[in-house]
Structure 1
Amino acid sequence: MDIGLLFFPGMTQLDVTGPFEVLARLPGARMHLLWKSIEPITSDVGLTLMPTTTFADCPQLDVLCVGGGPGQMALMDDEEVMAFVARAGAGARYVTSVCAGCFILAGAGLLDGYKSACHWLSRDQLAILGAIPVKERIVVDRNRISGGGVTAGIDFAFQVAAELCGDDVAKRVQLMLEYDPKPPFDITEDNAPAALLAEVRSAARPLLEERLRSSQRAVARMQQGRGPREAHPAAFPSSTGAS
């Protein structure tokens, strides 16, 4: 069972290292940490990570998993990466993402008409690329499985584990990992004070504006490469994309 997780400079490592911790423990799992070359990459907050499998050496995958992070925008302008994602996703049993990794899948043409979770700050932008954003921590739509922001990747991974190996195996791994989250603060998009939400959105505005531009470029490329298609109602909004 070949499971590939895309690594790239500027990634948010927990988007994929959380799922890795779960999926690597499944019976028969062979994990592939995918990048152009076997050389260290640096996450968005400075953690050094080492890929294990190049795009050229990647086998046929049962699961493709793509995370996000600030490096996602540059990645969507990289023809080599996007061609690989499109190719690997087309042949995988399950095409999956965590956080803003859904933008990479969508930019590769893999989420057109599919429901997807996303980080709450960027969720409304996802519709630009033809996906259907859903306000849920985990979303399953046929063979597309997605998790919301960052830490949702752990919950997401147990869902993927259940799809691959059944509930009993997933439960056994969850018990062994003692996954029983009890955060010290009850703070979410839904209950945060308005002032705190405004502060977080303001701090994220430059990233969201850049993400919007990268998605617009991806839409333009898809239209040029595949011919005109009916514009999505949310395409090219004037907002920055904050929820």
Structure 2
Amino acid sequence: MPEPLQIGVVVFPKVTQLDLTGPVQVFSSVPGARVHLIWKRIEPVPSDSVLVLTPTITFADCPQLDVICVPGGGGSDDMVNDEEMLDFLRRQAGAAKYITSVCTGSLVLGAAGLLQGYRATTHWSAMDHLAPFGAIPAKTRVCVDRNRVTGGGVTAGIDFALTLVSLLIDRQTAEAIQLRLEYNPAPPFNAGSPDTAPPEILAFMKERIAPFRQRRSEAIGRAAARLG
């Protein structure tokens, strides 16, 4: 009997829960897969919403993973300079089949030195932060470059996970999971991208997130400098 696929998703304070819960729902439907939620300690971890997440395993006890996935969110600004997180990712990346992320989780992969020379995507507001880590920004919903698979912002995590299942298993399995989840999006508005959102909505959002982008820029600067 083949060994089960070991799929690990890291959690951290102020993670965007949908970055994580979308892919976890998909991965949990993969026959025989073991899905781990990983953090430094087994303790409740606050997300960026009302949901609190409970890790299932620690960095120290985590087995070698076939897939390591880093979600994003405001907390990723802290993780890009968190040596314990970055060391864990580097150790796992050595033998993992796929090294992956959703949203600004790609910045954490970058800070660990795992995206140098790879195409990658992230949330639209963080796209200019990939280059300092030697990554090649790709403005796509899902980006596959060899064994690096990255998803765009938040809701792209479901697209990312289905794409990854098609690579890990096959397309039929991915399509069956998509049907099980009735993942058939038909958004009520065409405002989900800076390319399609009304100009006044885009301007409003840019103004609203400006302080957060400044904080992120400072964190990325420190992380890129430490990476060398």
Taking structure 2 as the reference length, what is the TM-score of the superposition? 0.96
| Equivalent in the alignment of 1:66 | 70
SS at 2:125's partner residue? coil
Counterparts of 1:95 and 1:38, CA distance in 2: 23
| Equivalent in the alignment of 1:241 | none
What do you get for the CA RMSD once the two structures are aligned? 0.9
Counterparts of 2:188 and 2:67, CA distance in 1: 33
| Equivalent in the alignment of 2:203 | 198
Counterparts of 1:66 and 1:182, CA distance in 2: 27
**Among residues 49, 72, 90, which one is paired with 2:94 in the alignment?**
90
SS at 1:170's partner residue? helix
Deviation of the 1:141 alpha carbon = 0.2
| Equivalent in the alignment of 2:19 | 15
Deviation of the 1:180 alpha carbon = 0.5
Deviation of the 1:72 alpha carbon = 0.7
Amino acid at match of 2:158: I
Counterparts of 1:191 and 1:26, CA distance in 2: 34
Counterparts of 1:206 and 1:113, CA distance in 2: 30
Counterparts of 2:81 and 2:129, CA distance in 1: 17
Q: Is the 8 A contact 2:81 2:111 kept in 1?
A: no
- 6-15 vs 206-215, which moves further: 206-215
Counterparts of 1:103 and 1:56, CA distance in 2: 23
Gaps of 5+ in 2: none
**Among residues 110, 132, 135, which one is paired with 1:131 in the alignment?**
135
| Equivalent in the alignment of 1:107 | 111
- 109-118 vs 184-193, which moves further: 184-193
| Equivalent in the alignment of 1:160 | 164
Deviation of the 1:46 alpha carbon = 2.8
Residue deviations 1:168-212 (CA, integer Å, cap 9, x gap): 111111111111011111112112222211110111111111111
| Equivalent in the alignment of 1:169 | 173
State percent identity of aligned pairs.
Answer: 50
SS at 1:145's partner residue? strand
Q: Structure 1 residue 216 and structure 2 residue 221: aligned?
A: yes
Counterparts of 1:46 and 1:133, CA distance in 2: 32
Amino acid at match of 1:8: F
| Equivalent in the alignment of 2:189 | 185
- 124-133 vs 108-117, which moves further: 124-133
Residue deviations 1:100-123 (CA, integer Å, cap 9, x gap): 000000000000010011101111
Amino acid at match of 1:65: C
Counterparts of 1:142 and 1:16, CA distance in 2: 22
Taking structure 1 as the reference length, what is the TM-score of the superposition? 0.90
User: How many residue pairs get matched?
Assistant: 223
Gaps of 5+ in 1: 224-243
